[in-house]
């Protein structure tokens, strides 16, 4: 159409104009031919017969390996356990079937005020102090001690007074959250004391139990359940006495089926430079070999590891279960065993006998039981022991109780008037849980502690989804 119009206009305009139109016609005609050729080529291609087109092979996308879902700490706490361990059977109809149930029962048992376990009598009639209360200023006679339970005394406000002076303390945020727990506890306790009748007291006591259970759940998550996995590797120093024994027998150890399924992961060490002189050995292999515990199948989610980074004795290095206790009867469960036997003295089948104490393998079955009933009991007992020292100590130098318990004249307040704290340096008073006073140290390149995140983690776990106790 355009070309036809241009041809007609040629006869109207001047020669110069006609020349312009002719060039325009030729250009448009050339563009038209190109369009036709391109269209034909697209519909009827004429490939070079000498070159066959290569077929494009579509690569199948690689299937991504499905990551095995790990149970959340909360799931581990509430998961039902099928096998009843030694300790869980002792609770009769209330026998726990989860870690959470075991913790709740342990809390319930320690709400009742009790005196510290009496010191043992030596053959000459003098008293042998229990390691737990050694040099803590606890009166040697039971009659001179005040009974203490988990609801006996108010809690002191948390600050840096009870932490090591030369050590880095927790963050301001952690202290603020710690005081939130203090306020909740003190409010419930005061309401309990002011209750007008037994029914109201009973309800408020249940609220206190729930708050303590929530605290211990968070402590268990911080201590063991919150890691990426519940399996760790034993790290053995080549210079230690254990190494050659393990090296010789490691390849010939016959593992229990449940143990052989475990896939260990490394235990954190103090600094990276230490790794060059270490040999990694599965803790399960080592434990089976050293203690002849082939009949023990490590229950799911029960953490067991041996920490050579710990500077003290073997008893403190071997850690088992929710609250990291040693299965050695003379170790950090010694006092707990005595209290357990006292609480279950009317049930002979629940007594931890001297024969059982002699066998670390037998004690491992109790401390590392499937429902963690005994482990939870000991966890609550350790906290109560901490409070018992603060309430009953007679020492002011060094101070074994919170500074708020000192009168203006420098003397101690009466035990019933004292407040207690969960956060007390173990060198000053008594504290099994490093998390509560110095755990989670973070060092700089020079090995200096710059911050401590144990308490921060604890209160994050406790208050990441705050639930106020019901009134």
Instruction: Return per-residue pLDDT of the chain as tens, 471 residues.
Output: 545 554 544 555 555 555 555 566 556 555 555 554 555 454 455 555 555 556 666 666 666 555 556 678 889 999 998 777 899 999 988 899 999 999 999 999 999 999 887 666 555 656 666 666 777 888 878 888 999 999 999 999 998 877 766 667 788 888 899 999 999 999 999 999 999 999 999 999 999 999 999 999 999 999 888 764 333 333 344 444 444 444 343 322 222 323 332 323 233 333 333 333 334 445 555 555 555 566 677 788 888 776 655 555 555 667 889 998 988 888 889 889 999 999 999 999 999 999 999 888 888 889 999 999 999 999 999 999 999 999 999 998 888 999 999 999 999 999 999 999 999 887 788 888 888 887 666 666 666 777 777 888 899 899 974 443 333
Alpha carbon separation from 292 to 247, 284, 305 (Å, rounded):
17, 11, 17
- Looking only at the bridges linking them, the beta strands covering 127-128 and 120-121 are antiparallel
Task: Please report whether residue 302 resides in a domain.
Answer: no
Task: Please report whether residue 158 resides in a domain.
Answer: yes
pLDDT of residue 225: 87
Q: What contacts 306, CB < 8 A, 6 or more positions away?
A: 234, 283, 286, 287, 317, 318, 319
Task: Please report whether residue 386 resides in a domain.
Answer: yes
pLDDT of residue 258: 31
pTM of the model: 0.74
Task: Please report whether residue 266 resides in a domain.
Answer: no
Q: Which domain holds residue 414?
A: 94-119+130-225+369-463
pLDDT of residue 27: 62
Task: Please report whether residue 363 resides in a domain.
Answer: no
The tally of domains found in the chain comes to 1
Q: What contacts 434, CB < 8 A, 6 or more positions away?
A: 426, 454
Task: Please report whether residue 400 resides in a domain.
Answer: yes
Task: Please report whether residue 455 resides in a domain.
Answer: yes
């Amino acid at each position: 159409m355009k070309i036809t119009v241009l041809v007609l206009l040629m006869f109207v305009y001047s020669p110069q104009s006609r020349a312009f139109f002719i060039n325009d016609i030729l250009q448009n005609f050339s563009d038209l031919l190109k369009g036709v050729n391109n269209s034909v080529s697209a519909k009827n291609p004429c490939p070079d017969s000498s070159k066959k087109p290569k077929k494009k092979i579509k690569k199948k996308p690689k299937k991504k390996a499905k990551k095995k879902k790990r149970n959340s700490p909360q799931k581990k706490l509430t998961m039902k356990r099928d096998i009843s361990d030694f300790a869980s059977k002792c609770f009769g109809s209330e026998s726990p079937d989860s870690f959470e149930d075991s913790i709740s029962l342990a809390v319930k048992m320690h709400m009742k005020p009790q005196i510290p376990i009496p010191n043992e009598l030596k053959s000459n009639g003098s008293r042998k102090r229990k390691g737990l209360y050694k040099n803590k200023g606890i009166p040697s006679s039971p009659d001179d001690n005040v009974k203490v339970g988990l609801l006996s005394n108010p809690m002191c406000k948390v600050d840096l007074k009870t932490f090591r002076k030369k050590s880095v303390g927790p963050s301001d945020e952690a202290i603020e959250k710690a005081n939130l727990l203090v306020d909740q506890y003190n409010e419930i306790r005061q309401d309990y004391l002011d209750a007008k009748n037994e029914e109201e007291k009973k309800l408020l006591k249940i609220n206190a139990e729930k708050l303590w259970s929530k605290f211990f759940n968070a402590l268990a998550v911080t201590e063991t359940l919150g890691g990426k996995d519940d399996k760790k590797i034993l790290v053995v120093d080549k210079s230690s006495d254990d190494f050659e024994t393990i090296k010789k027998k490691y390849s010939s150890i016959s593992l229990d089926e449940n143990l052989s399924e475990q896939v260990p992961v490394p235990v954190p060490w103090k600094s990276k430079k230490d790794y060059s002189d270490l040999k990694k050995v599965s803790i399960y292999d080592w434990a089976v070999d050293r203690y002849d515990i082939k009949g023990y199948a490590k229950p799911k989610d029960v953490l067991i590891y041996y920490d050579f980074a710990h500077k003290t004795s073997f008893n403190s290095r071997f850690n088992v279960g929710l609250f990291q206790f040693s299965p050695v009867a003379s170790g950090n469960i010694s006092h707990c065993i005595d209290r357990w036997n006292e609480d279950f003295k009317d049930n002979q089948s629940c007594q931890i006998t001297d024969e059982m104490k002699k066998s670390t393998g037998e004690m491992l079955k109790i401390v590392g039981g499937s429902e963690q009933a005994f482990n939870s009991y000991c966890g609550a007992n350790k906290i109560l022991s901490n409070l018992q020292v603060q309430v009953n100590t007679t020492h002011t130098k060094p101070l074994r109780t919170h500074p708020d318990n000192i009168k203006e004249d420098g003397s101690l307040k009466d035990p019933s008037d004292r407040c207690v704290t969960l956060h007390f340096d173990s060198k000053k008073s008594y504290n099994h849980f490093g998390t509560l006073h110095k755990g989670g140290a973070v060092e700089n390149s020079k090995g200096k502690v710059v911050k401590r995140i144990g308490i921060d983690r604890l209160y994050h776990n406790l208050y990441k989804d705050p639930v106020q106790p019901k009134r």
